[in-house]
Amino acid sequence: MNSKKKTYILLIAVFLVWGLIVYRIYNVVNPTIPKVEINNTTTSFKPYKIAKKDAFSIKADYRDPFLEKYANKTNRSNRSNTKTSSTKKVTKKEEKVIFPRIAYKGIISPKSRLDKHFILKINNKTVLFKLLETHKEIQLLQGDSKEIVVFYKGEQKKIALK
């Protein structure tokens, strides 16, 4: 083969390769859009038929355990062998006084002095008291080196040294 034939064959091969490359790029940039057919179908709505529920009633002719009354007055008259009246005793509950947390920690004063200072810890706060002194409704009535007597909301309490 001579060199001119080889050149023409190679030139045709180069054009084919470049043509194929350009064709693929063109297909990527401008793709063919398929046609979409729109179906004009109509759907109809059929509501679900609700069946009637069975009605029932509760016959509450028993005594209410909390109110000690019958649920219905008409049912109570139909019953026999029941109490018609009951006596309720109203008792006044006395409120129990809840003392705050009080701890007796000691006494500060020489034995010769009459004005003694007592160290009390009330709800984790340290407080200095003198005899007959009041702090937050707590009054110190008596005290010595072993125990004290406090008064709070009408009640007295002895507290020993800790």
Measured in whole angstroms, how far is the alpha carbon of residue 43 from the centre of its chain? Answer: 48
Measured in whole angstroms, how far is the alpha carbon of residue 135 from the centre of its chain? Answer: 38
Tell me which DSSP letter residue 145 carries.
Answer: S
The top-level CATH class assigned to 102-160 is mainly beta
For residue 107, with 0-12 CB atoms within 10 Å meaning exposed, 13-18 middle and 19 or more buried, which class applies? middle
This model's pTM is above 0.95: no
Percentage of the chain exceeding pLDDT 70? 80
| pLDDT tens-digit map of 115-125 | 788 899 999 99
| pLDDT tens-digit map of 45-94 | 788 888 887 787 777 777 777 877 665 555 444 444 445 555 666 666 66
